[in-house]
């Protein structure tokens, strides 16, 4: 932003790197350019400072579709002043003394570009339905507004060049938007519920598989235990059968030695 130092009967102007100053004295151009510094007499001088950097202009307006639905369009226009002298002659960018109302050049540019955007957008949206506007409205409006603003004779004669147009959103009214979102939300909710049910079914199936595996393990352990008990019983019976003959042989009585010994024959003396 330029600065002005005021002294009695004379003032000093120091420009900025982004401001193009035009110094008129008695209707004649005395100084012009970027980054100027000069002395001037406030009594017979007029100063205008036009920004030469890129300017951003957000805009928001409403339009009616072919099926009588209201939509809001949000856009952003990037422009710059390519002919500062013509701009200073057509728009108010004057540097006012302290205490006076500031220049309204930017507000005038915003009004001009905003009205142009709204006019061309209304004409374009009026030929489309709500569904078409929501589906392809952003790209269509971007192309229409870019072409219309870059070829507009008023902007070109004023020294304004449009660098780009970005259409950020085309949205219906809140009630219509909620109604359009309801089927999608219900579909997403049903898909979420189906996913929950599927996860639950998978979890139940896994629990059933785990229970079956545990039961099969228990059955197998019981079968092995039964086979082990049967094998132990069979081993015990076999061992008992082998032990019985040995015990019977040990318990058989031996022949009496006295009974088996021959008796002596009686002698004659004994008779």
Closest CA to 82 of 120, 55, 48, 57: 55
- Taking each continuous run of H as one helix and of E as one strand, the counts in the chain are 6, 9
What CA–CA distance (Å, rounded) separates 156 from 241? Answer: 124
- Paired with 20 in beta bridges are 34, 50
- Of the two residues 252 and 157, the one the predictor is more confident about is 157
Q: 103-107, 148-152, 252-256 — which one is most confidently predicted on average?
A: 148-152
Spatial contact of 47 and 94, defined as CB atoms under 8 Å apart: yes
Percent of the chain residues past pLDDT 70, beyond the cut: 87
Residue in the structure block whose two tokens are 């393990």: 217
Render pLDDT for 227-236 as a digit per residue (tens, 0 to 9).
888 888 888 8
Q: Which two tokens stand for residue 90?
A: 């057509």
Is the per-residue pLDDT at 101 higher than 50?
yes
Mean pLDDT value across residues 141-156: 93
Token couple for 15: 């420009």
pLDDT 10s digits, 149-179: 999 999 999 999 999 999 999 999 888 878 8
Higher pLDDT, 152 or 187: 152
For 30-52, write each residue's pLDDT tens digit. Answer: 888 888 888 888 888 888 899 99
% the chain with pLDDT above 90: 32
Distance CA 246, CA 243 (A): 6
Mean pLDDT of the chain: 84
User: Has residue 138 got a pLDDT over 60?
Assistant: yes
Flag whether pLDDT at 271 surpasses 50.
no
User: Strand, coil or helix: what is 62?
Assistant: strand
- pLDDT band with cut points at 50, 70 and 90 for residue 108: very high
Instruction: Answer yes or no: is pLDDT of 212 > 90.
Output: no
| Spatial distance between the Cα atoms of 3 and 241, rounded to a whole number of angstroms | 126
Q: Which long-range contacts (CB under 8 A, 24 or more apart) does 27-30 make?
A: 29/85
pTM, rounded to two decimals: 0.65
Q: CA–CA separation, 58 vs 115, rounded Å?
A: 12
Q: How confident is the model at residue 118 (pLDDT cuts 50, 70, 90)?
A: very high
**Nearest-CA neighbor of 77 among 47, 124, 116, 134?**
116
**What is the per-residue pLDDT across 63-82, written as a single tens digit (0 to 9) for each?**
999 988 999 999 999 999 99
The side-by-side arrangement of strands in the sheet containing 160-172 is 55-64, 70-81, 160-172
pLDDT greater than 70 at residue 248:
no
Where are the domains positioned within the chain? Answer: 1-51, 54-90+97-172
Tokens 């507000």 correspond to 107
Pairing relationship of beta strands 37-40 and 28-34 according to DSSP bridges: unpaired
65 vs 71: CA distance, rounded Å: 7
pLDDT at 246 over 70: no
From residue 20, alpha-carbon distances to 23, 80, 216 in Å are 10, 12, 91
Architecture of domain 54-90+97-172: 2-Layer Sandwich (3.30)
Question: Using 50, 70 and 90 to split pLDDT, how confident is the model at 198?
Answer: confident
Higher pLDDT, 233 or 20: 20
The pLDDT of residue 117 is above 90: yes
| Strand extents, DSSP E, 67-141 | 70-81
- Are 19 and 2 in contact by the 8 Å Cβ rule? The answer is yes
């Amino acid at each position: 932003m330029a600065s002005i130092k005021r002294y009695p009967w004379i003032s000093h102007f120091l420009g900025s790197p982004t401001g193009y100053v035009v110094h008129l004295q008695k209707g004649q151009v005395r100084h012009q350019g970027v980054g100027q510094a000069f002395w001037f007499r406030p009594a017979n001088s007029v100063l205008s400072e036009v920004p030469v950097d890129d300017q951003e202009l957000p805009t928001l307006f409403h339009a009616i579709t072919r099926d009588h639905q209201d939509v809001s369009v949000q856009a952003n226009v990037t422009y710059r002043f390519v002919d500062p002298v013509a701009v200073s002659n057509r728009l108010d960018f004057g540097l006012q003394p302290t205490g006076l109302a500031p220049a309204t050049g930017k507000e005038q540019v915003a009004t001009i570009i905003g009205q142009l955007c709204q006019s061309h957008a209304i004409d374009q949206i009026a030929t489309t339905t709500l569904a078409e506007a929501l589906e392809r409205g952003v790209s269509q409006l971007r192309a229409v507004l870019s072409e219309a603003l870059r070829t507009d004779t008023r902007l070109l004669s004023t020294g304004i060049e449009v660098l780009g147009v970005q259409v950020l959103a085309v949205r219906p009214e809140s009630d219509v938007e909620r109604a359009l979102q309801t089927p999608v939300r219900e579909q997403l909710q049903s898909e979420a519920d189906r996913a929950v049910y599927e996860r639950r079914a998978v979890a139940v199936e896994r629990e059933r598989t785990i229970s079956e595996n545990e039961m099969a393990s228990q059955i197998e352990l019981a079968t092995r235990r039964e086979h082990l008990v049967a094998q132990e019983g069979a081993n015990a019976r076999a061992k008992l059968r082998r032990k019985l003959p040995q015990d019977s042989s040990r318990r058989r009585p031996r022949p009496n030695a006295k009974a088996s010994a021959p008796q002596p024959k009686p002698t004659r003396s004994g008779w």
